[in-house]
């Protein structure tokens, strides 16, 4: 199948965008903190053509054709993301009248690798070409996030869309989510990013995510700051009642870890970087309480198998683990893990 078979016409624009993993800076982006994601070499591709008054899309993975008029509410299917980006553009004053999309996604869905941000960014890129919209890559990330939060109705920060829009494969995107200043830093030479997926899905991820956001907001309120980004020292959180003290300790510590991680990348110190990933995971597990026993175990096994560092990636409550592995140890690393966890998928 292709665009022509589904819609009977040729596409007028095409674009793509990648999924991502996050190396450091987890659960900081909704408190104006620092993040350090890297795009994956797995892409979502869309082909698009103009349409009037409606959004239509075919998903090659789902083998589904969906169509709804502009102004329809979200319905919980993949078309929501596409109606969402068209809605966000119209809200921003771009008179986009509709579109048809053919979607091909190589980003694993439901593993916490931001397949939704990849789809939003790819669709917005195609619409930028199709309707000659004067949008920067940052605008695209912000519009994608707006679609996801306000139209689809899933609370998220700006990290995933920025990684999909501004990231470069083989580099880490050091992003300040307060100012949106960013820099793409080369990953340590000789190290490979491996994604470890046990197929856990993301149990209760949305409810848990929203609860953590509220706890972080409450901690910031009690500390009298606009966001936890403004707390530079760990000792300042100790007076908060539990569990707000733990939640704030994670976020404040995680921001410091990103800054130290950036220094380690600049020095090419892969060992120090790996240690920060392990600290991040421990903090996500013990203080932020978004890990699962399976993920804790997987991190331990990855370290035993020779990784420099490993941590859960994304919101947690399931999803995948990201590991940084010496390139020349990749084969024994895989063999070690697959011998113990035969169902593990290594990407």
Q: Which residues are catalytic?
A: 160
> Binder to ligand GLA among 55, 107, 156, 163 (CB under 6 A)?
156
Smallest gap from Cβ 229 to ligand GLA, in A, equals: 14
* DSSP 8-state class, residue 148: I
β-strands 171-176, 34-50 pairing: antiparallel
Interaction of residue 159 with ligand GLA, rule CB under 6 A: yes
Interaction of residue 137 with ligand GLA, rule CB under 6 A: no
* DSSP 8-state class, residue 318: B
Torsion of CA 66, 68, 73, 76, to 10 degrees: 0
Q: Residue 144 or residue 188: which is nearer to ligand GLA going by CB?
A: 144
- Any idea which residue has 């060992």 for tokens? 271
> Which residues lie below 8 Å from residue 79, measured CB to CB, with a gap of 6+?
55, 57, 66, 67, 68
Residue span 203-242 as binding mask against ligand GLA, x where in contact by CB under 6 A, dash where not: ----------------------------------------
Is residue 125 a contact partner of residue 14, using CB atoms and an 8 Å limit? no
> Binder to ligand GLA among 11, 16, 24, 26 (CB under 6 A)?
26
Is residue 107 a contact partner of residue 18, using CB atoms and an 8 Å limit? yes
Nearest alpha carbon to residue 144 among 158, 134, 133, 132: 158
Q: How far apart are CA 104 and CA 48, in angstroms?
A: 12
SS3 71: coil
Region from 21-29, 122-130, 162-170, 322-330 binding ligand GLA, contact rule CB under 6 A: 21-29
Interaction of residue 160 with ligand GLA, rule CB under 6 A: yes
> Binder to ligand GLA among 33, 309, 314, 318 (CB under 6 A)?
314
Q: Round to the nearest angstrom and report the end-to-end CA distance of the chain.
A: 26
Q: Residue 11 or residue 144: which is nearer to ligand GLA going by CB?
A: 144
Q: How far apart are CA 295 and CA 286, in angstroms?
A: 13
Interaction of residue 30 with ligand GLA, rule CB under 6 A: yes
> Binder to ligand GLA among 39, 157, 167, 274 (CB under 6 A)?
157
Q: Residue 14 or residue 285: which is nearer to ligand GLA going by CB?
A: 285
Q: Residue 13 or residue 276: which is nearer to ligand GLA going by CB?
A: 276
Is residue 249 a contact partner of residue 240, using CB atoms and an 8 Å limit? no
Q: Residue 26 or residue 137: which is nearer to ligand GLA going by CB?
A: 26
Q: Tell me the number of residues near ligand GLA by CB under 6 A.
A: 11
Region from 23-31, 45-53, 225-233, 321-329 binding ligand GLA, contact rule CB under 6 A: 23-31
Supply 97's token pair.
């009248």
Q: Residue 82 or residue 315: which is nearer to ligand GLA going by CB?
A: 315
Q: How far apart are CA 188 and CA 324, in angstroms?
A: 9
Interaction of residue 121 with ligand GLA, rule CB under 6 A: no
> Binder to ligand GLA among 195, 258, 302, 315 (CB under 6 A)?
315
Interaction of residue 20 with ligand GLA, rule CB under 6 A: no
Q: How far apart are CA 96 and CA 257, in angstroms?
A: 42
Region from 70-78, 84-92, 152-160, 264-272 binding ligand GLA, contact rule CB under 6 A: 152-160
Is residue 302 a contact partner of residue 319, using CB atoms and an 8 Å limit? no
Binding site for ligand GLA (CB under 6 A): 22, 26-27, 29-30, 156-157, 159-160, 314-315
């Amino acid at each position: 199948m292709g665009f022509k078979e589904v819609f009977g016409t040729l596409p007028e624009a095409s674009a793509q965008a990648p999924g991502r993993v996050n190396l450091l800076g987890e659960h900081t982006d909704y408190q104006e903190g620092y993040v350090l994601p890297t795009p994956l070499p797995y892409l979502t591709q869309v082909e698009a053509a103009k349409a009037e008054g409606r959004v239509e899309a075919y998903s090659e993975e789902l083998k589904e054709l969906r169509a709804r008029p502009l102004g329809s509410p979200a319905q919980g299917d993949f078309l929501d993301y596409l109606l969402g980006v068209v809605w966000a553009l119209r809200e921003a004053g771009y008179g986009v009248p509709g579109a048809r999309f053919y979607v091909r996604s190589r980003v694993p869905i439901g593993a916490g690798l931001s397949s939704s941000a990849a789809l939003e960014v790819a669709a917005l890129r195609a619409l930028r070409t199709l309707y000659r919209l004067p949008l920067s890559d940052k605008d695209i990330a912000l519009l994608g996030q707006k679609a996801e939060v306000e139209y689809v109705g899933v609370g998220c920060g700006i990290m995933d869309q920025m990684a999909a829009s501004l990231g470069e494969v083989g580099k880490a995107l050091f992003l300040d989510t307060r100012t949106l200043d960013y820099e793409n830093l080369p990953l340590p030479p000789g190290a490979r990013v491996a994604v470890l997926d046990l197929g856990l899905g993301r149990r209760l991820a949305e409810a848990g995510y929203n609860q953590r956001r509220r706890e972080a907001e409450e901690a910031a309120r009690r500390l009298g700051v606009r966001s936890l980004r403004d707390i530079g020292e760990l000792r300042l959180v100790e007076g908060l009642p539990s569990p707000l003290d733990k939640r704030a300790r994670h976020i404040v510590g995680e921001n410091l870890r990103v800054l130290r991680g950036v220094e380690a990348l600049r020095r090419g110190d892969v060992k120090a970087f790996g240690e920060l990933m392990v600290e991040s995971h421990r903090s996500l597990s013990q203080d932020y309480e978004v890990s699962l026993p399976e993920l804790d175990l997987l991190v331990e096994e990855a370290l035993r198998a020779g990784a420099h560092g490993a941590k859960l990636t994304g919101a947690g409550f399931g999803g995948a683990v990201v590991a940084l592995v010496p390139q020349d140890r990749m084969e024994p690393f895989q063999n070690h893990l697959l011998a113990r966890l035969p169902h593990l998928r290594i990407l």
